[in-house]
Structure 1
Amino acid sequence: MSKILAFAGSNSSSSINYKLVNFTAGLLSDHNVTLLDMAAVNLPLYSEDLEKNEGFSAELKEIKEAISNADALVLSVNEHNSGLSSFFKNLLDWLSRYDRNFLENKKVLLLSTSPGKRAAISAKEQASGMLPRFGAEIAATFSLPSFYDNLKEDGIIDPDLNKSHKEAIDQFLAKI
């Protein structure tokens, strides 16, 4: 049984990426999954001066500790203006300054979703390029287009998308 940390790269209280992470985490019942809600996280915009003068917040250290204690991550990234959200980029900036290899030896199931048909794939691609720089291995990926049409209470309704989601989970679990 692996310890898996699941969270979204969004700090929105109504994040659809968090909803996708929560749904996905619910399918990992054979593992010890911790769901982290980033809506309550309050990190100031990263600056070298702030780091030098105030150091690293207790909240950042707690997130880093949660990542360190996990064997693997389920992460869903949202997209703002064809890139990662400023919240998630800021989180990466802080974490990488605290410990450059904060994702060392972590397998990642990288997800993305959006209300539109592109499913935040630009943000997912950007994250796929960045996370390995901090030690992560992208074990599998999945993008869910048209979130509100495709994810309902009983799951992903499009059979092909549902199959792709399950295959991504299976690929991820095979690597942890």
Structure 2
Amino acid sequence: MTLHKPPRILVFAGSAREDSHNKRLARLAAERLDRVGGQATFVDLRDYPLPLYDGDLEGREGLPASARSLQGLLAEHQGLLLASPEYNGFITPLMKNTLDWLSRSDGDRSGLTLFADKLAAVVSASPGALGGMRSLALIRQLLGNLGVTVLPNPLAVPRAAQAFGENGELVDESQQQRLDALCQRLVTTLIKLQATDSPSGS
């Protein structure tokens, strides 16, 4: 029986706010991914500050150091799990700007190539009643434009201010089960893809 390494999954939220509900959801998802056989890497975008994308700035100075660091992380991971907050019915400027910089080329390395054949799951938490559903539709579209395959049935957590207990877990058992199922599906699918890509008999 061929044994495969746990699939590596990069996890981050499109918010830099210290008490972000989506950052909390992303950390919880990273824990779940580890429990179900994945190897999650949670990163806080606050630690990777980026200027607003500007083609002239890129032309003069190349990619910012934070963009190169994130591209390096992206290259080392087979999957993504993104927690996408919703601002005025849209994805956050931070999320869009981060993905824009990551898609840029750095020397001989194409940013778009880093996204190709990646598999992703998306989640969202919102103080509102819809749980960030509009943001989820848009982040799915953006990731698809970048060449990422996004799993169906994303998780939206409404009324996020009351959704998490003191231990960081989701209070609603059905939401926790849906998060577990999404993380399991992401890991299981990545393992299947890993097996498909492996040479016969390896």
User: Is TM (by shorter chain) over 0.5?
Assistant: yes
Size of the alignment, in residue pairs?
Answer: 176
How far apart, in 1, do the equivalents of 2:102 and 2:71 lie?
7
> How far is 1:123 from its partner?
1.1
Q: Unpaired runs of 5+ in structure 2?
A: 1-5, 106-110, 191-202
How far apart, in 1, do the equivalents of 2:97 and 2:7 lie?
28
CA root-mean-square deviation:
1.5
The aligned residue for residue 120 of structure 2 is: 108
The answer as to 2:31 corresponding to 1:26 is yes
How far apart, in 1, do the equivalents of 2:185 and 2:158 lie?
20
Cα displacement string for residues 129-174 of structure 1 (whole angstroms, at most 9, x for unaligned residues): 1101112111242111111222212622223222222222222222
The answer as to 2:158 corresponding to 1:145 is yes
TM-score (norm 1): 0.93
Maintained 8 Å contact 2:125/2:131: yes
SS of 2:104's equivalent?
helix
The answer as to 2:12 corresponding to 1:7 is yes
TM-score (norm 2): 0.81
The aligned residue for residue 98 of structure 2 is: 91
SS of 2:115's equivalent?
coil
Maintained 8 Å contact 1:5/1:73: yes
Q: Unpaired runs of 5+ in structure 1?
A: none
Which amino acid in the other structure matches residue 118 of structure 2?
Answer: K
Q: 1:16 aligns with which of 10, 21, 33?
A: 21
The answer as to 2:137 corresponding to 1:132 is no
Cα displacement string for residues 48-69 of structure 1 (whole angstroms, at most 9, x for unaligned residues): 1111111101210110110110
Structure 1 residue ranges (4+ consecutive) displaced by more than 3 angstroms after TM superposition? none
The 3 A distance-change label for structure 1 pair 9 and 154 is closer
Between Structure 1 and Structure 2, the one with more strand by share is 1
SS of 1:156's equivalent?
coil
